[in-house]
Amino acid sequence: MTAPAEPPVTPAVPLASAQGRWILLTTVLGSSMALLDSTVVNVALPRIGQDLDADLAVLQWTVNAYLLTLAGLILVGGALGDRFGRRRIFVLGVVWFAVGSLLCGIAPNAGILIAARALQGIGGALLTPGSLALIQGSIRAEDRGRAVGLWSGLGGVGAAVGPFLGGWLVDGPGWRWVFLLNVPLAALCVPVALRHVPESRDPQAHGRFDIAGAVLGAAALALLTYALIEARAADAPVIIAAVAGVLLAGAFVQVERRRADPMMPPSMFSSRLFTAVNVVTLFVYAALGGFFFLVVLQLQVVSGYSALAAGAAMLPTTALMLLLSARSGELGERIGPRIPLTVGPLLCAAGMLLMLRVGPGASYVRDVLPAMVVTGLGLVTVVAPLTATVLASVDPGRAGLASGINNAAARVAGLLAVAALPLLAGMGPEAYRSAAEFDAAFGRAMPWCAGALVAGAAVAWATVRSPAPGACHPQCQTHCGVTAPPLEPQREAGPADKPTAG
């Protein structure tokens, strides 16, 4: 794959034009593939386990194989788009994701399903950064805010429909259609992109990619994930994997410090606010990743809900996000991020503790709904201010890179939580086949999730400072704690979709 010597000048397309609407449709279709996949697969896990005669570790890998390659390669995906063309890499990602989805849908056994999920993650790493980057690179400047708002709103509708649709597919034609659904979406998205979306590149992108960093980071995550999932055995391979994972993580840090163009520049973390918000992200999304992995199992295995009912149970949380996120963002701008980033995780923690009421024969209105509403209010409070604070904590020229790093942090947090939480809660390999055993383990898991959220709230309260309105700007260190590093001649990653709660 080679890039032209002289990148073409990308026209500034009005959003109201026919081409502008086609560009918006393309980005929504592409991001919806990854978004739907992240919200519907959890609903299908019990049925996947039954059909493939799989233990809990297989269910963990079904989620984590995707997150592993996505988290490890998402920054590289943004760099490839900047260098070789955002439309080109976006289309490649859509096709790759569709092929991986097809392989998931026809997988005859657990091993092939897990491998196909890893392939899906590679496709997601290519298409996810390109979705917003196509808007940034093609839509004229005065229309970009509205375009991003429409993209976000339409994506939110997809997030709301996802669990419900996933449950309907699992109970109807079967869990394989959760994956096969992506194929017709890709068949629609690719020709629209090729026909209506102009190509765009970053003319300053130099084409040097941090392959060593990407390989070391992904390998470290893979080994640590394996060690956590298989830790019950505590045999030599598990111990070797854990030690090797830690060593490779250390090597990754050293490589990033020494490279002239690292994919995760250490200088980004010279901003105290950027560092603090990413630590909060790790705690919050670890709790959310573990919660949403286990709650659909609890509803189906213990409470006897169908897949459709379990998926529909998530709707209040997503509906609150859709209705109130914009207002939460406005509130965060007025009062600063400290209070939202403290109160939001505490509300989520309260919602997860309320889930302890959900057991055999649980009433949706009395037991499940209050927990989902409180969790949803917590997410509304924390997500928009967290994203805005990440972008405001660095120089505007590095906003895309900051978003990509924060996105990767959220994915890694979910990955490690899904691997570690069953171990911490004492879930055996066959726990999800026994209602009594799983219910007891779920009761031990929710306090761990709530504890992670409380820790995130404590970090936010201790490290994030909310300036008085108008007192400072994004580069102000006195009030915000931002130490803006000087701009360096390095590649900026394209904006990345913020992972949804589901």
The pLDDT of residue 15 = 82
Q: What is the mean pLDDT of residues 229-251?
A: 89
Is 83's pLDDT higher than 50?
yes
Is 195's pLDDT higher than 80?
yes
The pLDDT of residue 285 = 94
pLDDT greater at residue 267 or residue 282: 282
Amino acid at 165: L
**Residue 248 CA: distances (Å) to CA of 67, 216, 243, 261, 293:** 19, 6, 9, 19, 27
**Residue 474 CA: distances (Å) to CA of 120, 400, 477:** 36, 15, 8
Q: What is the mean pLDDT of residues 404-421?
A: 90
User: What distance in Å separates the CA atoms of residue 58 and residue 456, rounded to the nearest whole number?
Assistant: 29
The pLDDT of residue 367 = 94
pLDDT greater at residue 15 or residue 113: 113
pLDDT greater at residue 104 or residue 259: 104
Q: What is the mean pLDDT of residues 15-35?
A: 85
Whether the Cβ atoms of residue 152 and residue 132 lie closer than 8 Å to each other: no
Question: What is the sign of the dihedral through the CA atoms of 276, 325, 36 and 188?
Answer: negative
pLDDT greater at residue 431 or residue 153: 431
Whether the Cβ atoms of residue 192 and residue 80 lie closer than 8 Å to each other: no
The pLDDT of residue 268 = 86
Is 42's pLDDT higher than 60?
yes
pLDDT digits (tens, 9 = 90+) for 288-343: 999 999 999 999 999 999 999 998 998 888 888 878 877 777 787 788 889 999 99
Q: What is the mean pLDDT of residues 272-277?
A: 91
The pLDDT of residue 494 = 39
pLDDT digits (tens, 9 = 90+) for 44-55: 999 999 999 999
Q: What is the mean pLDDT of residues 386-390?
A: 83
pLDDT digits (tens, 9 = 90+) for 147-190: 776 776 676 676 667 788 888 999 999 999 999 989 999 999 99
The pLDDT of residue 228 = 92
Q: What is the mean pLDDT of residues 436-455?
A: 96
% of the chain residues with pLDDT over 90: 48
Provide the phi-psi class of 488: left if phi over 0, else alpha when psi is between -120 and 50, else beta. beta
pLDDT digits (tens, 9 = 90+) for 255-272: 988 888 888 888 888 888
Whether the Cβ atoms of residue 288 and residue 414 lie closer than 8 Å to each other: yes
The pLDDT of residue 476 = 45
The pLDDT of residue 501 = 43
Confidence of residue 484 (pLDDT cuts 50, 70, 90): very low
Mean pLDDT of the chain: 84
The pLDDT of residue 473 = 44
The pLDDT of residue 10 = 55
Q: What is the mean pLDDT of residues 212-228?
A: 91
Q: What is the mean pLDDT of residues 229-254?
A: 90
Strand partners, 139: 13
Confidence of residue 31 (pLDDT cuts 50, 70, 90): confident
% of the chain residues with pLDDT over 70: 87
**CA-closest candidate to residue 383, choices 159, 190, 213, 180:** 159
**What per-residue string of b and e applies to 457-480 under the rule 16 or more CB within 10 Å gives b?**
bebbbebbbbbeeeebebeeeeeb
User: What distance in Å separates the CA atoms of residue 348 and residue 340, rounded to the nearest whole number?
Assistant: 12
User: What distance in Å separates the CA atoms of residue 361 and residue 401, rounded to the nearest whole number?
Assistant: 47
Confidence of residue 138 (pLDDT cuts 50, 70, 90): confident
The pLDDT of residue 487 = 33
The pLDDT of residue 152 = 67
